[in-house]
Amino acid sequence: MTESEDLFVEQRNELPTPKDAISAFIKSVRLRRIDDAVLWMAYLWQFPKERQRIKVRVLFESGEDNLSLNVIESISEWYGSSRRNSLEAAATEIIRLCGTRNWWAQPDGRQYIYAWRRSEIAPPNFKRLGLGELFGVMHGAIVERDMTTGLAAFNALYGRRDFQPRVLASRLRDWSETHGCQQARRLAQVYERHVSSFWLDGNISGQTYFALIHGEFGEQDRPEVEDEQVGEALFRASERLKAGIAIPSHALDGVHTQRGSDRRFAGVVKFMSGSCRAYEHYGRLSPDDDWLPSFMELPETGQ
């Protein structure tokens, strides 16, 4: 048992499992709870076997819970450098990410999520199409600005056994150059740079493809983060760790965790859509708010 493990056992009889801690980290970022996000990152960082996992998760979060291209590029630079081995640098990027509005808190971000949800409902049957034909449908949807068909084809691509992320990276790069979409071009560069880490995670590639059909969207400034802010956040995390920690019930979704059933904030499109509806209803996104059945229904097209 390591010293860090011994410290936690003194405070609690049972340590949070890595899966539960990762889920709590994801939910903290999604809900823009900076101190909680830094807490769970710091907790996992103390166990060497979990460090690479949390680093990759930060990279994923740059696209799953963020629509700022400037922040995506900042996290990409961090991940591609030796700085990713520093907890302080990792915390800096998470604080920066949490300084932006998430998709649920901005109108074009909600439209982004609603578009993906619509593409899941009664999609065209692409099973008989070869891989090249499916790419053809995707490119045709860019030309025709056919959002629903294009996103449905993208989803079908990720469901194929012969799908190769590097091939998609090449197509996205070519399409962004052909159609002159600068946001898609920059996103495609990030995706291609880290494709071996993203692999079957479709958030950055999905944003790239969405931008190709929709045009530029969701852009925000890159928040500046001071060293003092990072130091204070890590100090607060250290104090909380010493006092003992527990996984919040809203993080136990039964998807990222093996227990619990609160899926409101799980990274599943229908619940991401529900989060948008909850924000529109309450003016915030909080685990303290009850979800109405109507939150699981899409708004009328155009809303």
pLDDT at residue 291 above 50? Answer: yes
Spatial distance between the Cα atoms of 242 and 262, rounded to a whole number of angstroms = 27
Select from 191, 183, 178 the least CA-distant residue to 214.
183
Over range 99-110, report the average pLDDT: 97
The pair of three-digit structure tokens given for residue 211, joined into one six-digit string = 């931008």
CA 7 to chain centre: 31
Q: Is the pLDDT of residue 248 over 90?
A: yes
Region 46-73 average pLDDT: 97
The amino acid present at 271, given as its one-letter code, is F
Q: Using N-to-C axis directions, what is the helix angle for 203-214 and 182-193, rounded to 10°?
A: 160
Q: What phi and psi values does residue 73 have, to the nearest 5 degrees?
A: -70, -35
Q: What is the mean pLDDT of the chain?
A: 94
Task: State the greatest distance between any 2 C-alpha atoms of the chain, in Å, as a whole number.
Answer: 62
What are the pLDDT digits (tens) for 269-284?
999 999 999 999 999 9
Q: Please give the pLDDT value at position 4.
A: 38
Encoded tokens for 264: 């409101």
Distance CA 27, CA 283 (A): 18
CB 41 within 8 A of CB 61: no
Amino acid at 170: S
**Residue 9 reports pLDDT greater than 80:** no
Residues 6+ positions from 182 with CB-CB distance below 8 Å: 216
What are the φ and ψ backbone dihedral angles of 7, each rounded to 5 degrees?
-60, -45
First to last CA, the chain: 55
pTM of the predicted model as reported, rounded to 2 decimal places: 0.93
Determine the pLDDT at residue 44: 98
